[in-house]
Structure 1
Amino acid sequence: MAPKVHGSVFSTATMRAFATLHEKGVEFEVVPIDMRAGEHKKEPFISLNPFGQVPAYEDGDLKLFESRAITRHIALEHHGKGTELIYNDVKKMTSVSVWMEVEAHHFDPVTSKLVWEQVVKPMMMSMESDSAIVEENQKKLGQVLDVYEARLLKSKYLGGDGFTLADLHHLPTMHYLMGTSTKEVFESRPHVSAWAKDIMARPAWKKTVEMQKQA
């Protein structure tokens, strides 16, 4: 049976799981969760993720939540198929792991706030974004991307010479922010800009974005 991803095609966390499955060439079933109706906060979804957050993942008897744990499982489970998103080599994988942590603890907290203010509030909730919060977090993002610029001066991708989960995890929030003024924060740093264009042009990511158009 094909694995199931319970979530929304518009959710950044769910998009990480979709992109990983596309990179590995794994067929999967999407179980839509209507977040506006609060389906993620009640049964049957809450049995899959007790924290009431998308996505949840089912693969036979295995049930998982937390998007980054899901992507790592997919990469391990389907090792040798599609894009190798992790390494067996300890030294190489250590570098990938560092940048996966950087994304989770430095990049995502800032970009998620910007997505909320610049995309979710105005486009999905008919609310005005808070310009002060946007300005504050664009400054914070710039500081994070200065570190990325230095890294990408030495390496094509964050984890090394090949595309890995360390890069993939950035795609969902980056995708939304490229349609906002925050795009300039990426484009003003040449190596970050080249990296962003590279990973957003991947066929697996284009398939993930296309899912939104079909929803």
Structure 2
Amino acid sequence: MATIKLHAFVMSAPAQRVFATLYEKDLPFELIPVDIRSGENKKQPYLSLNPFGQIPALEDGDLKLFESRAITRYLSHAYADRGTQLIFEDSKKMAVMASWVEAEAHQFDPAALKLAWELVFKPMFGQQTDHAAVEEIEAKLENVLEIYEARLAESKYLGGDSFSLADLHHCPLIQYLMGSPAKRLFESRPRVSAWCADILDRPAWLKVVALKTSH
């Protein structure tokens, strides 16, 4: 098997989705750091891998991919015989899982990312948090988490009874928000809280946390 190359910045939430998938699938890979501080991602040769200049990009042999969720899907399908099964063979189960994958991308991520920016990254960069914005964003995220709480009364994980991409894709932003005042939004909902504890304690995700710490 040719060495998989992942061009990434380790603090990037989208990159962390891919790291987690690679670890879940037990796939060896080469990390090629991209210095976003100097704008390396907005220049060639990186733009030949991701024309939008965003993180991450993956090379697997002659295949070049960008967009983290497309990459995780590819790895899950192409290496279905390795590591954790992150997708389902049954078409109905796959369709249900796909619905929750889309929910993460279009319902959870927009609010969670904005909240992480205000509560985690702005303070990190010495910027002032917009508390009015935080209040508005939290209300949107709470609506999503209420739906998650109801869903998790029906199955152990969002996509079904086993861990899948629908859960994995949430890990990066949940990890960041759990280190912020927004932690209470998750912990105040028993099923969501238990689900978060479960997915953030997976060995593959703990490897991602260790990778971040080492950089």
Category of TM-score, reference length = shorter chain = over 0.9
- 1:141 partnered with 2:141: yes
Q: Offset of 1:149 from its aligned partner? A: 0.3
> TM-score, normalized by length of structure 2?
0.98
Q: For residues 129 and 2 of structure 1, what CA distance do their matches in structure 2 show?
A: 42
> TM-score, normalized by length of structure 1?
0.98
Q: 1:139-158, CA deviations, whole angstroms, 9 ceiling, x for partnerless residues?
A: 11000000000000110000
Q: Offset of 1:117 from its aligned partner? A: 0.8
Q: Percent identity at matched positions?
A: 56
Unaligned runs of 5+ in 2: none
Corresponding residue for residue 62 of structure 1? 63
3-state SS in 2 of match to 1:31:
strand
Corresponding residue for residue 34 of structure 2? 33
- 1:114 partnered with 2:143: no
- 1:205 partnered with 2:205: yes
Q: 1:105-148, CA deviations, whole angstroms, 9 ceiling, x for partnerless residues?
A: 0000000001111111111x211111111111111100000000
Corresponding residue for residue 178 of structure 2? 178
Q: For residues 152 and 138 of structure 2, what CA distance do their matches in structure 1 show?
A: 20
- Residue type at the aligned position of 2:52: F
Corresponding residue for residue 169 of structure 1? 169
Q: Offset of 1:199 from its aligned partner? A: 0.3
CA-based RMSD of the aligned residues comes to 0.6
Corresponding residue for residue 192 of structure 2? 192
3-state SS in 1 of match to 2:110:
helix
1:51-90, aligned counterparts within 5 Å? 51-90=52-91
3-state SS in 1 of match to 2:194:
helix
Q: Offset of 1:2 from its aligned partner? A: 1.3
3-state SS in 1 of match to 2:58:
strand
Runs of 4+ in 1 over 6 A off after TM superposition: none
3-state SS in 2 of match to 1:153:
coil
Q: Offset of 1:15 from its aligned partner? A: 0.3
Q: 1:28-69, CA deviations, whole angstroms, 9 ceiling, x for partnerless residues?
A: 010101111111111111110010100000000000000000
- 1:19 partnered with 2:23: no
Corresponding residue for residue 158 of structure 2? 158
Q: For residues 121 and 31 of structure 1, what CA distance do their matches in structure 2 show?
A: 26
Q: Offset of 1:18 from its aligned partner? A: 0.3
Corresponding residue for residue 103 of structure 2? 102
